[in-house]
Structure 1
Amino acid sequence: MNSPSSDVSVPPAPPEPQAARALPNGLAAFLVFYASGAVLVLETAALRLVGPYVGVTLQVTSSVIGIALAAIAYGAWAGGWLADRRNPRILLAPALVLAGIATAITLPAVRYAGEVLRGGAASAILLLVAVAVFAPAMLLSAVTPLVVKLQLADLRRTGQVVGRLSSIGTLGAVTATLVTGFVLVAALPSTVILFGLAGSLGIVGVGLWVYLRRQDRAALPGPARLKSALAALGLIGAGLTVIAPNPCDVETAYHCARVEADAVRPGGRTLLLNSAQHSYVDLADPTHLEYAYTRWIGAVADVIAPPGQRLDALHLGGGGFTVPRYLTATRAGTDNLVFEIDGGLVELGERQLGVTQGPDLRAVVGDARILVAAEATDSRDFVVGDAFGHLVVPWHLATREMAAEIRRVARPGGVYVQNVIDYPPLRFITSEVATVAAEFRHVAVIAPPEALAGARGANFLIVASDAPLPLAAVRARLDADNEPASLLSGGDLTDFIGAALVLTDDYAPVDQLLATA
């Protein structure tokens, strides 16, 4: 007698799903290397994109790194999640094409958003950086887990496969960082870098789609829609970029630069770096000093060496070359040596700002800290510190060690003047004065009275020497100016400094001291 269960037919078990076919090892390595490198091209270029709107400070740099890492993390997680639920072979090409689309619209998106978020607080910086980096970096970061999933055909080699592809991705990121920082940013505008990257992502994506389709026609649809999407991408991205507001006339390796003509003064020209006013020159009258702090520098120069008496002057930062042109015009035979890190600004000055190099004015392209160390001892009568990264003095030019180098280069009785920008509660200017005073015997500060009282941000001019400063003569010059300026020295300056931090190469939190919050 048969058991009841023997009359019941058992359906056959469903077939085990076949694992997606692995990619050739060379192709897998290329995709991981290329996608990881593309993320770092975006990250490096992002500093140029957002700089005109929020500056290039430690907070901005930290935001770019943090947002990029967040995009990498979310992209890797999403890519791994999708790889377990869909055939990665179907997802790889769309991920690359979508990353190309996101990259193409990054530049116009940043330019529109930047006009709204310009000069904002930390939240504005994070939001603008996210617009510049997050979407394309996340899509590109999904490529590696998709490729890894395809290559894991033998579980006994899991560690080897993951380790190899991880190292290849890291090498791609390192290579892209070096090539972008040393070559691309110095040679190409942001528009070319981003659209070049977007185009290459689209080409690689379409090429990969065609290759995989030839291998497995049943699993992959044709690339026609992909090509249409890329064509639309090119038109939309190019159109938006053309009409988007462009804050730059020239993109140098360090700055987004623009020169504006003065509507009131025919020869007047304002140099804007990253959309902030940096310098003003009068092409017809190099003795005209528009900004108060430049008149203060001119006043100090006129007191220590009356017009007509030549000087050996060293300038840390060129910008619009306002002060070197002033000294050349007022003191025939003066030797102006200018250290300017941005060679593009030197070329712009020669083209549009009346800069003429010759025996009385020489520009050397390089970092002022390194170049000052190579200068001869007791070689300069007048040293002008006017170097900025956006509105911030680069930290390595603000330390006691740098002040010691300047003191070494200055002759006995030579004078050092340093332009500093700070805002209430004035933590950076007090620290910088304390730092300079740690090396020079005699120090004074010139600034608007309300700025010294902590009522607003402004330019401050530090004046320092190992010889007594001619303060009475400087005071007389300041009184003759139209804009009121205070001159602090002695006990008043000591009270102003208080217990401020002396900045050193080991500890110089310049960006944090400048934070207004």
Structure 2
Amino acid sequence: MPLPGRLRSIATVSSTYSEVVVEPAPSVPAPRALPNGLAAFLVFLSSGAVLVLETISLRLVGPYVGVTLQVTSSVIGMALGAIAYGAWMGGWLADRRDPRGLLAPALVLAGIATAVTLPVVRYAGEALRGGAASAVLLLTALAVLVPAGLLAAITPLVVKLQLADLRRTGQVVGRLSGIGTLGGITATLVTGFVLVAALPSTVIVLGLAAVLGATGLVLGAYLRRRAGTGLPAPARAKAVLAVVGLAAAGLSAVAPNPCDVETAYHCAKVQPDPRWTEGRYLYLNSAQHSYVDLADPTHLEYAYTQWIGLVADAAAPKGQRLDALHLGGGGFTMPRYLAATRPDTDNLVFEIDGGLVDLGRRELGVRTGPRLRAKVGDARVLLGAEPTDSRDFIVGDAFGHLVVPWHLATREMAAEVRRVLRPGGIYVQNVIDMPPDRFIRAELATVAAEFRYVAALAPPGAFAGQQGANFLIIASDAPLPLAAIESRLGLLPEVAVLVRDAALAGFVGDALVLTDDYAPVDQLLATA
């Protein structure tokens, strides 16, 4: 039976619609996956480069804002932020563009951004020098954010290209994630154990920039050949990138470098004293650290070194032999003083930075030998190997920038010092603090928890909370020669006061005793 006319029209439309729906859509070729080896290499390289940047950034910003817990935390935080935002942006772009056209530019731009890091940090560092929290955050952001963000975008781009078969998603993502982690681990270990010890920071940064840029250029050429004409490389873009890269290299060459020598731990510089041809200033991470008189080792320029010399002279007359141990070498000012005033004295110096010992030998008149020995290593570790009751005089003068390393400021450390001292021996410790003086109070409480007799030397304004200054802690298990010390204070060029007994207890108050379990040294030193 034939259908009525209206129903015939509906059937015709329905039939036509069915034909349209069932007709297969034209196929769109998915982006061709990278060879597995190349994908793994790109993820390994980009992830490792981020960790090289993170490690070396601490050395780039250290000369301007110090190497403190806050600076280290800021570098780590900025690197993690760059990784997070870079990966997010890389994933977003991978869903909107062919990742093959983004990989090579990302690597080249990361290389240029890495090269630009040097002049940016060095020029900005001169303006931001000092170490305020805002300066630390800004300088570390300038050192890390852009290049690390570009590098972090590489992994999601590669992952997108490798996900041709959704049944292997977990395997692909897991493998590339593991390779990226291995790249970061390898870069961290190689940078910390090899590169920093062998090369200046400038060479490491520019070398990394060159590797990234060259890899990007080679990758771009490879992908263009593989894709035919699908991935054009405009001549104008090439020219712009070349100009920017050359400009970055030129700025790096003329940017101010705060270091004469980069050691494993310090950016070091030795400058002559304009007032005296034989005087030398030692700067570590741009902070004035030591003064050495090449012609006269008995010349003590800084007030705190004069106090240490005064305590040594009050404890044992000049010419009397001492077995002295120095925790921290620096410019070797005090070992040279004791060697000159007491020729038979045995000076043993624990210095963590072997490069600093070599610099002292080359430029600061340090002459090591049987009576002046230097052991390279951590003072806490080396002290633990020293015999009990073996030293008459121990000098604590180890600093990381302007901060006593926390593990050298604890009660357990003070106990080790007391163990190594002979009965009646004296321990002096140099401490720098600023109002409200929370660290020096805590350190005095810590030393007093182990030693029966404790006193302190500093300018009057420092004890009054009116100025930042060096403080000298003096400690022993036997009564201190306080009368002899006070009688000599008036002979010094700068006014200093000796605080002891009830006055010292009042200054310390209920301050925290620092322990290996809890020693917030950096936080106690914060002035804000």
Pick the TM interval, shorter chain: over 0.9
* Matching residue of 1:86: 97
Quote the offset at 1:213 in angstroms. 1.2
Structure 1 CA distance for aligned equivalents of residues 394 and 234 of structure 2 = 64
Secondary structure at the aligned position of 2:527 is classed as coil
- Higher mean alpha-carbon deviation, 379-388 vs 217-226, is at 217-226
Quote the offset at 1:357 in angstroms. 0.6
Quote the offset at 1:223 in angstroms. 7.9
Q: Any residues of structure 2 matched to 1:462-477 within 5 Å, and which?
A: 462-477=473-488
* Matching residue of 1:484: 495
Deviations 1:84-143 (A, max 9, x none): 000001101111100000000101110000011001411110000000000000000000
Quote the offset at 1:43 in angstroms. 0.1
- Higher mean alpha-carbon deviation, 25-34 vs 60-69, is at 25-34
Structure 2 CA distance for aligned equivalents of residues 229 and 184 of structure 1 = 31
Quote the offset at 1:231 in angstroms. 4.1
* Matching residue of 1:42: 53
Secondary structure at the aligned position of 1:460 is classed as strand
Deviations 1:445-478 (A, max 9, x none): 0001001111111000000000100001001111
- Higher mean alpha-carbon deviation, 368-377 vs 480-489, is at 480-489
Secondary structure at the aligned position of 2:276 is classed as coil
Counterparts in 2 of 1:276 and 1:232: CA distance versus 1, 3 Å? same
> Is the counterpart of residue 113 in structure 1 residue 124 in structure 2?
yes
Secondary structure at the aligned position of 1:3 is classed as helix
Quote the offset at 1:235 in angstroms. 2.4
Which one of the candidate residues 31, 35, 40 is aligned to 1:24? 35
* Matching residue of 1:140: 151
In the alignment, residue 247 of structure 2 is paired with which amino acid? I
Secondary structure at the aligned position of 1:488 is classed as strand
Contact 2:280 2:293 in 1 (8 A): yes
* Matching residue of 2:70: 59
Contact 1:209 1:223 in 2 (8 A): no
Counterparts in 2 of 1:337 and 1:227: CA distance versus 1, 3 Å? farther
* Matching residue of 1:129: 140
Quote the offset at 1:228 in angstroms. 4.2
Counterparts in 2 of 1:291 and 1:15: CA distance versus 1, 3 Å? same
> Is the counterpart of residue 272 in structure 1 residue 283 in structure 2?
yes
Contact 2:66 2:131 in 1 (8 A): no
Structure 2 CA distance for aligned equivalents of residues 467 and 101 of structure 1 = 63
Gaps of 5+ in 2: none
Deviations 1:355-380 (A, max 9, x none): 01112211111000100000011111
Quote the offset at 1:498 in angstroms. 0.6
Which one of the candidate residues 153, 156, 162 is aligned to 2:164? 153
TM-score of the two chains, using structure 1 as the length reference: 0.97
Quote the offset at 1:18 in angstroms. 2.4
Structure 2 CA distance for aligned equivalents of residues 388 and 268 of structure 1 = 22
TM-score of the two chains, using structure 2 as the length reference: 0.95
Quote the offset at 1:504 in angstroms. 0.5
Contact 1:206 1:223 in 2 (8 A): no
Contact 1:262 1:270 in 2 (8 A): yes
> Is the counterpart of residue 338 in structure 1 residue 328 in structure 2?
no
In the alignment, residue 382 of structure 1 is paired with which amino acid? F
Secondary structure at the aligned position of 2:511 is classed as coil
Deviations 1:486-514 (A, max 9, x none): 11111111111111111110000000000
In the alignment, residue 74 of structure 2 is paired with which amino acid? S
* Matching residue of 2:272: 261
* Matching residue of 1:187: 198
Quote the offset at 1:257 in angstroms. 0.5
* Matching residue of 1:409: 420
In the alignment, residue 3 of structure 1 is paired with which amino acid? S
Gaps of 5+ in 1: none
Which one of the candidate residues 292, 299, 304 is aligned to 2:303? 292
Secondary structure at the aligned position of 1:153 is classed as coil
Quote the offset at 1:245 in angstroms. 1.1
Structure 1 CA distance for aligned equivalents of residues 380 and 216 of structure 2 = 45
Deviations 1:386-433 (A, max 9, x none): 000000000000011111111010111100000000011100000001
RMSD value, Cα: 1.6
* Matching residue of 2:224: 213
> Is the counterpart of residue 3 in structure 1 residue 9 in structure 2?
yes
Structure 2 CA distance for aligned equivalents of residues 226 and 312 of structure 1 = 69
Quote the offset at 1:6 in angstroms. 4.9
Contact 1:202 1:230 in 2 (8 A): no
Aligned residues: 517
* Matching residue of 1:503: 514
Contact 1:256 1:275 in 2 (8 A): yes
* Matching residue of 1:101: 112
Structure 2 CA distance for aligned equivalents of residues 67 and 283 of structure 1 = 43
* Matching residue of 1:68: 79
In the alignment, residue 295 of structure 2 is paired with which amino acid? A
